[in-house]
Structure 1
Amino acid sequence: MAALNGIRVLDFGHFIAGPLAAQLLADNGAEVIRIDRPGARDEPRDAYLQRSKRRLALDLKDPRDARTARELSDTADVVIENFRSGVLDRLGFSADSLRESNPALVYASIPGFAAADRRAQIPGWEGVIAAATGNCRVRAGEAPAEWDMTVPTYPSLPLASNFAAILTATAIVGALVDRMSTGVGSRIEVPLFDATFELIGGAGAYSARRGYRAEDPLIANGSGTYECADGHYVQFNPIGATMRFLTWFLDAADRSSWIAEGFGVSSSYVDDPGLAAVLRARLTDLFLTRAAQEWEDLGRTAGVPLCRIRTADEWRETEHARVSGQVVEMDGTWQAGSPIHLSATPTVAPRAAVAEDRAIQFSSPPNPDRGIRGKPLRETRVVDLTQILAGPSAGRMLAEYGADVIKINAPQRPVEAHGVVNRGKSSILLDLQRSDGQALLWELIQQADVLTQNFPEGTAESYGFGYRHVHARHPGLVYVSVSCFGYHGPWSRGRGYEVQGQAVTGIMERTGRGGRPAVLGPYNPLDYGTGAMAALAAVLGIFHATRTGDGQHVSTSLAHVGTFHQATMLVPGADAAAEVAGRGALGLSELQRFYRASDGWFFLGVSESQRDALERAIGGVPNDALFASRPAAEWVDTLVEAGMGAHAVVRLPELFDDPYVFSSGLRLEQESNEIGTVTMPGPVVTVNGERLAPGSVANAPGSDARAVLASIGREDELARLETAWVVQSEALPRGWPAGT
């Protein structure tokens, strides 16, 4: 039985974010009733967005249809809408009015901009949000040599909508968990603008002392995109705490002699700054000696992050994508599958939406499981073993929902982005290769409700705390796994990072189309998207465990999320309308694109039905010459006053000085004991009018060792454990990068 069996969702959404959030719930067993506008025609992407839903066409301005919709809302557990703030209120479907007759209702809004934002009435087109959040730049180091970095690039993926959908689905399931103990629903708001701050992540983190620092190109240890003998490309990313991946690769490629020249020793690059360029030149020549597939096979055998760059169509054809369920067959075509895998509550097999379903049953209002003793996240303990960005971000999100998260890292190792992704957690440095360290871990697990890990498949098992080991001793625990390619299928043991996930699923090819494949920028959509998806999987597991007492194994991966981000484009027939790929893409059409004004760039977002009104407002047909005649701010004011979507392109440093960002909590400032005041993106979800709590500042990794040991009655053993090299509590590694 799926996790959300028995939950009814009313989907008032349109375009992507609302229907996508509802579809994530439908995948997990919810009965989703889609309310269509009468006469609305399906587009190709609706084969994905509306699948597994029941559908009903209702005109909310018609009293009879409005009454039907109201009666349905009285029987619903969840209502989802993504209109501009106030639109449904004016039609009599405000959160307050619906919850007055159905107090158990969870009401989720996904507007473009928050009701409290001065831009609340600006249509939240994807390009408008991209301009407003700076998500329209080429990633550092990925542009052609002649590229003008002041020119924006239209995002090839609907990232604001996708992130908002994941975060909304997570908040809804969290509210359902909370409802079990309170009997009362919640009011959730996740604007597209706000949701993008989850995508920004560490790119928006900096110290007040130094200020914003632009990101560096992805070139460490020879990382990069390389052309191969057959004209195809590979993505090689041998990063990490040590040089092991580069060493393993050189051994496998019969270039061990390079190690003797210093290429496999990190200190060599400090002593000779020019060595990095020499390594890249040599790798460029080396990769030209074999076909891309040969290099991928070699990399997978050697255990290094190296893979062939594919198109989305090529990814859809791979055995791994199909066996792992990342793409599924429906009505004779292959499309994106579920982005998460749950062992005890599997996602439902996708099916075509019912074109018109008048057989929907009207029943009494939902009666939450008041008899079951609830366990909201504020009473949930999480043991977090994950590293880098994706896994730790999931734990940080669970902490924002009130979970007590204990973060475990290895001693004597740098902890990437600790200050950002481990905010709100208790941190301890524990050596899990030592028996005493494993014994401490088991004590922590016995008190936990959730465990998160992102080791390659087989590694946790080799330590003795794989899922089957943990489940045998603690059957009620939710075990969350995060990986690059997924825990099922022939690539399950493969290693990789953000760029490998982008490379295999077609994102890099789409981003660089018309030239060399390129990493999608400027932020990390797979790392932070996978973190959000893992949090959703965890909360689904918690919901099921709260209902039944049973734990399970839930998982997701960078590749799953890479597929998810392109899901509306993978449906046959959808590509033609969505192809704006490439670094030179400015938009979908003359009505949806970036334009250069006299002093900078702005995005215009207008529907075809507004064309005449647009031409009256601007005094002509939209074109480059016309818009170059006035400053961007003037054009934006003119367009917004006329009811159009428009926004000037905002750079990241400006974004964090925005009045709404500053006052609403999207800009979070905390005091670190390492570097003083730090700025970073804050929580993005609002529940019952309050933004989720960010949690305490993440001080140096390992700062909470004594408190963590005290939680299992072992505080007095800290000195002994440190002497035995099991725990590290002094001379701690940095939680912020050097130079921050």
Structure 2
Amino acid sequence: MMTPLENVKVLNLGTRWAGQVAALLLADQGAEVVEITRPANSAKSEAIDALLGRGKRLIELDLNTASGRAQALKLTECADIVLENMRPGAVTRLGLDNTTLRASNPQLTTVSLPGFAPGDPRSETAAWEGSINAATGVYTDLSPLGPLLGRTPVYSAIPMASAYGGVLGAVTASLGLYHRLATGVGQHFTVPLADAVMSAMALLIAHVEGQPNRYDFPPIERSMREVAFPILKDVSNHLDDKQVTRLLDYVRSFASPGLGSYPAADGKLVFICANDHIYQTRALLQTLGIFDRLIAEGMEATSPYVQGSSGKNLYKAAGLTMEWRTHLRQEIAAAIKSAPAADWEQRLREANVPATVVRTTTEWLTEPGLHEAGVTADLDDAELGPVRQAGRFVSLEGEAQASPALRHRETEQAGGDFQSAAITSTAASSEKNLLDGIKVLDFSNIIAGPAAGRTLAEFGAEVIRVDPPAPQAGPFATMWFGIDVNQGKRAIILDLKTEAGRQAIAELITDTDVVLHNFLDRSAERLGIDHSSLKALNPDIISCQISAWGGSNGGPYKDDPAFDPVMQAASGIMTRYGTPEQPVLHGIASCVDYMTGFLATLGIVQALSARALGRGGSYVRTSLAMAAQLVQFPFMASVSDTVDTQHEPRGQQARGQAPHQSLYQFADGWAYLGCAEADSVALRTELDISGTDAASYAVRLQGLTIAEVRQHLADIVSASVCEISTLAAIRAERTEDQHSESNNWLNTGSFALVRDEHPSGYPTTLPRPTWVRPDQHAIQKLTPAPAPGAHTEEVLRGSGMDEKKIRRLFEAGVARKAWPALSCYLPD
């Protein structure tokens, strides 16, 4: 059986993480990947090298020599995809820029992964992981008090730039391949890593003017947010630890009791995420044995969509009075304290409540059920021996092709040629959009799946969102999140629990290319959208299922529920950003959810390429668990039973990886200082830093301005200083009004946001999708996210269904134009 990308030849010119991640995601689907490595040095391989090298041939070439460049050019002449992630100007200097390469190979897809976009003043400076995170709000807007108080930035070891840049690089390369197969023409793409980070920050940087208080995060009193905290922000550096703790306790008091960590009887923490959900909130409280008592005490269990607030609705946490919120939190805490954490994890998951024991990375990598699932895998490495690592991030299977087994890296001292046969393309018009003519039915909800559907729409696919007649999740999850992730789609409501609803959707499926959903297996089968049912209706269809815990083998937890925060708690992200005793949420939705969506997009586009190569339809699978590993990939490989965390920066006091890669307070503000370790002596000499420790750096730098330090370091190529940016500052600087917006928004530096009127009635500012920049094709400007059911009649009529049948569907309540529970777009 063939693999999805068999005979696709990929060359990765760079040795930096983002390019390596992108190449890994192509190798995992059977592409022949050649990755150029630098001439050998004495450094021993680490476990992460085994993961990043998986499935590749690593060829040592010195591109600073004529022979090395000649060998690289020879490889590009028969490659299908070339990735490069070099420092600014390097590919042009080496004669390996996309214009040169495509002159001799017009069908070539080239993808550049610079730190900052062309036109950004920072684009010519060294872009370290920390520099990019500093420029994108990662160090200021993920921590609980950061956006409110603007206090000391908090370092995160999560490599957002390389992880999101890598997955989007792979998506882009796969898109270019698919379009080339359809047209015979290659093209160049740019994926700036700073913009890639912004793709994950979309809901944090989004701004809905005048929105009801319940959609603020956290939903603190508006007077405090708009009056008191701006004043406190001005004096935040003068607040002592006791004052900061009191403010943090105040903010935490507004957190939903159904979202957070609680200590169990054995001292371990249980993280739950059952907030404003008609089923899961009730199931949580019933499993804990406190639901009936809370109702008897006067609390209510009414719709989370009801307008107004009684102050005691269990399904509307933001509307609870402080007394009821505190009481509910105390009741949950007391119940969980009565049994060990593992018992609660099992009991809650059996009740379909998203919950987990809070774990470290080591505990995640050694968890037997995850290994059985293929979420983690063991792979023998020639240098290191068995390496426990993340499993295949996306799995594809069809009648004629399937993802290959994981393959270890192969190292060659001398350059070799590609060994795969050539792939053929169809000559056709290259003017059409990248996914022109592709039709998608999106049954998914919350963020991950809808983000995949939105991304496909950005590339020109026609996406129809399918909602049930009544929502289970509250409006924060369905409507507010949807403001971003449901852009560019038409929206219909059909009841697939009825025979008439399944027949109606079947008529749409016969003319559909892709079906996307995040249902459990049993639910998908009941609704008629499992892969077997879909294939019976449309043999070449591509279906994509996003699960919470599933791996390449499914596994014992594949039917368990979870959301982004649960996966952060389970996989070590929270204990890394905080501590095992005090785990901290690494931003809402900005860590795992969007990564999952992009992995789903990747699998779908790779499946489209496989279909274009004559290999038929595919069943695509990925999960939140796989995304939680990719976003923290440096920590997802180990040659022993433990991950070395002794020297790892962690917690809310962390400032950097090393003294020469760290956050510092300069005379005029906070910035990230980065340089190569080999240049750290020269850096200390130029700056007259007496010691080698971070404290010595900090003492010296606080007396210098950022401009002065830059001037001192001008001759050290690897050194850069990047000011800290907040999301509010980026939004203020980079937002255009819809009516005055430039038509060239993809080519105006890093980031672009647009403010526009919105169906919600609130003017809304959202980021433009600047993270993928094709040279030849426009990214679609998406229409605002419609209300559920806004296009039901239009879509059914467009499918060719006769008017009588359409009328009967509406009369029977099988089809709807709106949710009855939703009286306005954003209920208060």
Q: Give the TM-score normalised by structure 1.
A: 0.93
Q: Which moved more, 1:267-276 or 1:329-338?
A: 267-276
Contact 1:640 1:646 in 2 (8 A): no
CA-atom RMSD, angstroms? 2.9
Contact 1:54 1:357 in 2 (8 A): no
Contact 1:685 1:691 in 2 (8 A): no
| Residue number in structure 2 paired with 1:101 | 104
Pairing partner for 1:276 from 312, 325, 330: 325
CA offsets 1:661-683 (integer angstroms, 9 cap, x no match): 97456313443233254211221
| Residue number in structure 2 paired with 1:260 | 296
- TM-superposed deviation, 1:568: 2.0
Q: Matches of 1:429 and 1:203 in 2, distance apart?
A: 28
- TM-superposed deviation, 1:535: 0.5
| Residue number in structure 2 paired with 1:341 | 395
Cα 1:720–1:631 shift into 2, 3 Å: farther
Contact 2:157 2:657 in 1 (8 A): no
Q: Matches of 1:93 and 1:190 in 2, distance apart?
A: 17
Pairing partner for 1:602 from 646, 671, 676: 671
Q: Which moved more, 1:223-232 or 1:203-212?
A: 203-212
Q: Say whether 1:724 aligns with 2:812.
A: yes
Q: Say whether 1:449 aligns with 2:450.
A: no
Q: Which moved more, 1:446-455 or 1:342-351?
A: 342-351
Cα 1:625–1:230 shift into 2, 3 Å: same
Gaps of 5+ in 2: 219-251, 303-309, 314-318, 381-385, 691-695, 737-744
Secondary structure, in 3 states, of the residue corresponding to 1:112? coil
Alignment-mate amino acid for residue 661 of structure 2? Q
Identity %, equivalent residues: 30
Secondary structure, in 3 states, of the residue corresponding to 2:620? strand
Contact 1:311 1:505 in 2 (8 A): yes
Q: Matches of 1:17 and 1:133 in 2, distance apart?
A: 17
Q: Say whether 1:418 aligns with 2:479.
A: no
Q: Say whether 1:249 aligns with 2:284.
A: yes
Q: Say whether 1:180 aligns with 2:246.
A: no
After superposition, residues 369-518 of structure 1 pair within 5 angstroms as: 369-370=425-426, 377-413=435-471, 414=475, 415-416=478-479, 417-486=481-550, 488-513=554-579, 515-518=581-584
Secondary structure, in 3 states, of the residue corresponding to 2:579? coil
| Residue number in structure 1 paired with 2:239 | none
Cα 1:87–1:284 shift into 2, 3 Å: same
After superposition, residues 1-80 of structure 1 pair within 5 angstroms as: 1-40=2-41, 41=43, 43-44=45-46, 45-80=48-83
Secondary structure, in 3 states, of the residue corresponding to 2:167? helix
- TM-superposed deviation, 1:225: 0.6
CA offsets 1:437-488 (integer angstroms, 9 cap, x no match): 2222111111100000111231111223222211222121111001211161
Secondary structure, in 3 states, of the residue corresponding to 1:405? strand
| Residue number in structure 1 paired with 2:369 | 320
Contact 2:181 2:609 in 1 (8 A): no
- TM-superposed deviation, 1:239: 2.1
| Residue number in structure 2 paired with 1:546 | 612
- TM-superposed deviation, 1:734: 7.7
Cα 1:122–1:738 shift into 2, 3 Å: farther
Q: Matches of 2:402 and 2:714 in 1, distance apart?
A: 45
Cα 1:70–1:551 shift into 2, 3 Å: same
Q: Say whether 1:652 aligns with 2:740.
A: no
Q: Say whether 1:707 aligns with 2:743.
A: no
- TM-superposed deviation, 1:222: 2.5
Q: Give the TM-score normalised by structure 2.
A: 0.83
Pairing partner for 2:752 from 666, 671, 675: 666
| Residue number in structure 1 paired with 2:701 | 627
Q: Matches of 1:726 and 1:545 in 2, distance apart?
A: 34
Alignment-mate amino acid for residue 29 of structure 2? N
Cα 1:638–1:738 shift into 2, 3 Å: farther
Secondary structure, in 3 states, of the residue corresponding to 1:4? coil
- TM-superposed deviation, 1:361: 3.1
Q: Say whether 1:526 aligns with 2:592.
A: yes
Pairing partner for 1:682 from 747, 764, 768: 768
Q: Which moved more, 1:369-378 or 1:579-588?
A: 369-378
| Residue number in structure 1 paired with 2:383 | none
Alignment-mate amino acid for residue 249 of structure 1? L
- TM-superposed deviation, 1:625: 2.1
Q: Matches of 2:575 and 2:67 in 1, distance apart?
A: 50
Secondary structure, in 3 states, of the residue corresponding to 2:638? coil
Secondary structure, in 3 states, of the residue corresponding to 1:626? helix
Cα 1:692–1:459 shift into 2, 3 Å: same
Cα 1:729–1:31 shift into 2, 3 Å: same
Q: Which moved more, 1:96-105 or 1:538-547?
A: 538-547
Contact 2:447 2:589 in 1 (8 A): no
Q: Matches of 1:672 and 1:687 in 2, distance apart?
A: 28
- TM-superposed deviation, 1:631: 4.3
Contact 2:531 2:619 in 1 (8 A): yes
Alignment-mate amino acid for residue 729 of structure 1? K
- TM-superposed deviation, 1:271: 6.8
Alignment-mate amino acid for residue 409 of structure 2? A
Q: Which moved more, 1:664-673 or 1:49-58?
A: 664-673
Q: Matches of 1:3 and 1:16 in 2, distance apart?
A: 24
Q: Matches of 2:795 and 2:289 in 1, distance apart?
A: 46
| Residue number in structure 2 paired with 1:361 | 417
Secondary structure, in 3 states, of the residue corresponding to 1:595? strand
Cα 1:612–1:437 shift into 2, 3 Å: same
Cα 1:182–1:550 shift into 2, 3 Å: same
Alignment-mate amino acid for residue 452 of structure 1? L
Q: Which moved more, 1:61-70 or 1:722-731?
A: 722-731
Secondary structure, in 3 states, of the residue corresponding to 1:247? helix
Alignment-mate amino acid for residue 234 of structure 1? V
Pairing partner for 1:297 from 346, 358, 380: 346
- TM-superposed deviation, 1:149: 5.6
Q: Matches of 2:621 and 2:417 in 1, distance apart?
A: 34
- TM-superposed deviation, 1:578: 6.8
Cα 1:22–1:377 shift into 2, 3 Å: same
Contact 1:700 1:735 in 2 (8 A): no
Contact 1:228 1:234 in 2 (8 A): yes
- TM-superposed deviation, 1:429: 2.3
Q: Matches of 1:412 and 1:460 in 2, distance apart?
A: 17
Alignment-mate amino acid for residue 728 of structure 1? R
Gaps of 5+ in 1: none
CA offsets 1:127-181 (integer angstroms, 9 cap, x no match): 11111001114746589xxx98612121121111101111110111111111112
Cα 1:411–1:518 shift into 2, 3 Å: same
Number of residue pairs matched by the alignment: 735
- TM-superposed deviation, 1:364: 11
Q: Matches of 1:195 and 1:531 in 2, distance apart?
A: 13
- TM-superposed deviation, 1:527: 0.6
Alignment-mate amino acid for residue 333 of structure 2? T
Q: Matches of 1:229 and 1:640 in 2, distance apart?
A: 57
Alignment-mate amino acid for residue 703 of structure 1? A
| Residue number in structure 2 paired with 1:583 | 652
Q: Say whether 1:310 aligns with 2:313.
A: no
Alignment-mate amino acid for residue 438 of structure 2? T
Contact 1:27 1:348 in 2 (8 A): yes
| Residue number in structure 1 paired with 2:222 | none
